[in-house]
Structure 1
Amino acid sequence: MDLRPMESGDWEEMHVLYADPGVWEHQPTGVFTTVDQTKALVEFFVSGWRDDALSNWAAFDDGGAFVGHGGARLLHDRAAWNIGYRIHREHWHQGYGSTLARRGVEAAHETDPDVPVTAKLLERNEASRRTAEAAGLQLVWRGRDLGNADETAVRLVYADRELDETTLRAHTHSFMR
Structure 2
Amino acid sequence: MTRWTHVRTERLWLDEPVDGDADALLTIHRDPASWRHFPSGVVTDPEAGRTMVGASRRRFERDGLAYWSIRDAADGPVIGRGGCSVPDEGLGEPGWWNLYYRFDQRVVGRGYATEMGLAALDAAHDVAPERPVLAYLLEHNHASRRTAEKVGLRLVWRGPDADNPDPAAVRLVYLDRDPDDALVDALDAVGMPRQGLLG
1:15 aligns with 2:49: no
- 2:192 aligned residue (160, 169, 172): 172
Rounded Cα–Cα distance in structure 2 between residues aligned with 1:108 and 1:5: 15
- 2:98 aligned residue (78, 82, 89): 82
Structure with more of its chain in strand, by fraction? 1
Stretch deviating more after TM superposition (163-172 or 77-86): 163-172
What secondary structure is seen at the aligned counterpart in 1 of 2:86?
strand
Superposition map of 1:51-62 within 5 A:
51-62=62-73
Alignment size in residue pairs: 173
Using the size of structure 1 for normalisation, the TM-score is 0.91
Superposition map of 1:134-149 within 5 A:
134-149=150-165
Gaps of 5+ in 1: none
Rounded Cα–Cα distance in structure 2 between residues aligned with 1:99 and 1:84: 13
The RMSD of aligned alpha carbons is: 1.6
1:132 is aligned to 148
Shift in alpha-carbon separation, 1:142–1:25, aligned structure 2, 3 A: same
2:121 is aligned to 105
2:8 is aligned to none
Counterpart amino acid of 1:77?
G
Rounded Cα–Cα distance in structure 1 between residues aligned with 2:165 and 2:126: 37
Rounded Cα–Cα distance in structure 2 between residues aligned with 1:150 and 1:39: 29
Counterpart amino acid of 2:71?
F
- 2:52 aligned residue (41, 45, 50): 41
Offset at residue 171 of structure 1 (A): 6.6
Superposition map of 1:61-76 within 5 A:
61-62=72-73, 64-75=76-87, 76=89
Offset at residue 151 of structure 1 (A): 1.0
- Structure 1 outlier segments of 4+, above 4 Å: none
